[in-house]
Amino acid sequence: MAGASEFYRIAWAHGDATVRAVGGMIAPVHFDLGNGQVISPLHVAPWADTPGADWPPLLAGLRGEWPCLPFGPAHVPDELPAGWHGRQPEDQWDHGYCANHAWHLVESSSALLSIAIDLPPGDPVARLERTIRPHADSPSIEVELVIHPRRAALIPFALHPTFVMPADGVEIVGGGYASVHTYPMPTEPGVSRLRPNSTAASLRELPLNGSETLDVTRLPLPFKTEELLQIAGCKPPFVLRYPGQQAEVLLDWDAAQLPDALLWISNGGRGHAPWSGSHYALGIEPCNSCFDLSRVALPAVEHPLAKRGGLRLQAGVAMRIAYRLSARLVLTSA
C-alpha cells in the first residue's frame, strides 16, 4: 500500500509532474517554456518534506493540487453569522477521506499517469480515479477525475490548485466572473482585513472593515493576512502572471460543473505551527459549494450562494470532471 513518503512521476518533452500518493496531490510540476526557461507554478508548503511531521496527513504534505470530496473542514465553525445553521459532517477528514489517504497506482507510461482510491463502505462514493495526461507538444497537462457513486448524494466539491506566491509577485490578469463574495465571518479572527459577508463587483475593489477597499490582483499583499473569497459565475481560464519569470500560468475548467472558485490568499497571516507566519500561497479552487462551508453549515436562505450545495451524484452513474493547467512565455518589449 502506498504510504506518506511515496510519490509517482511522469515526464514528457515539455515538463514533468510529481504526484504524492496521499491525497493524490500534484506538485511540483515543471513546465519548460523554451530558451532554458522553466516555471514550477504549484506551491509546496515549507514543511511538506519534513520527515516525521506530526500533522494530519493532508497538512503534513501540503502541496499543489488535489480533489476535495467533500470540500471543506470537518468541524463546525465556532461562530456563524445570523441565519446560518451548523450541521455535522459525515466524516472526520478535512477535505474528505480522499485528501488524507493514499491513492494507488493504476497505470504509468510516457502518455499518462493514472491513480485511484477506494473509499470506505459507508461513503456515498465508492471510488475515485484520477488521470494526468501531458500534452505532447506543449507545457500543459490535462487532469481528469472520475467519481463512482454508490448512492445518490449531494456533495460539496472542489479542485484545490494552490500556486506559488513569490516575493517578486504574482498577478491575476485573466478570468471573468459575475461577482465576488467575502467569507461570512473573519477567515482568521484578529488577522483578516476584508469586511465579512460582503459582495463586490471586482477583485480590485474589495471592502475592508473601514471605508477603504483592497486590490487583491497583485500579490503578496503588503501586510500579513489570511483571506477566503468566492468568485461566482466564473468564466475560465484564469490567468496568473509571474513578472519575475516572464511567464503566465493558465487554469481552465468546465464552469458548467464548477461555476465558482474559492480564492485562498495565504499571506503570512497564520502565526501558529506549522504555518508560523511564513506561509505564502494563492489558491484558485474551482468549486460547487458555498465557500468551504457546505458540509458543516447551511447558509441563510437569502445569501447569494445559498444554492451552491454541491455535485448531485446518481447511484452507479460515473461523473467526470476535468481541468487543464498550462504555461506560456510573456513577450515583453525592450
**Which cell numbers hold the place of 30?**
515543471
Sign of the C-alpha dihedral, residues 45, 50, 53, 57? positive
Helix (H) or strand (E) holding 60: helix 57-60
Give the Cα separation of 36 and 312 in Å (integer).
45
- Contacts (Cβ under 8 Å, ≥6 apart) of 80: 86, 184, 185, 297
What is the model's pLDDT at position 52?
A: 67
| 1 in a structural domain | no
Region for residue 215 given its phi and psi (left: phi exceeds 0; alpha: psi -120 to 50; beta: otherwise): beta
| 81 in a structural domain | yes
Sign of the C-alpha dihedral, residues 78, 83, 84, 87? positive
What is the model's pLDDT at position 120?
A: 97
Angle at 258 between CA 257 and CA 264, to 5 degrees: 170
> Confidence class of residue 90 from pLDDT cuts 50, 70 and 90?
confident
Stated pTM of the model = 0.96
Distance of CA 89 to the CA centre of its chain: 20
| 264 in a structural domain | yes
Position with higher pLDDT, 54 vs 280: 280
> Confidence class of residue 334 from pLDDT cuts 50, 70 and 90?
very low
Q: Which of 40-54, 107-121, 231-245, 282-296 has the lowest mean pLDDT?
A: 40-54
| 98 in a structural domain | yes
Nearest 10 degrees: CA dihedral of 140, 145, 146, 149? -170
| 2 in a structural domain | no
Number of domains in the chain: 1
Domain, as residue range, for 231: 7-329
| 36 in a structural domain | yes
What is the model's pLDDT at position 332?
A: 63
Give the Cα separation of 17 and 11 in Å (integer).
6
| 298 in a structural domain | yes
Q: Which of 74-78, 168-172, 212-216, 314-318 has the lowest mean pLDDT?
A: 74-78
**How do residues 235-281 score in pLDDT, each as one tens digit?**
999 999 999 999 999 999 999 999 999 999 999 999 999 999 999 99
What is the model's pLDDT at position 3?
A: 62
| 334 in a structural domain | no
Q: What is the CATH number of the domain that holds 128?
A: 2.70.98.10
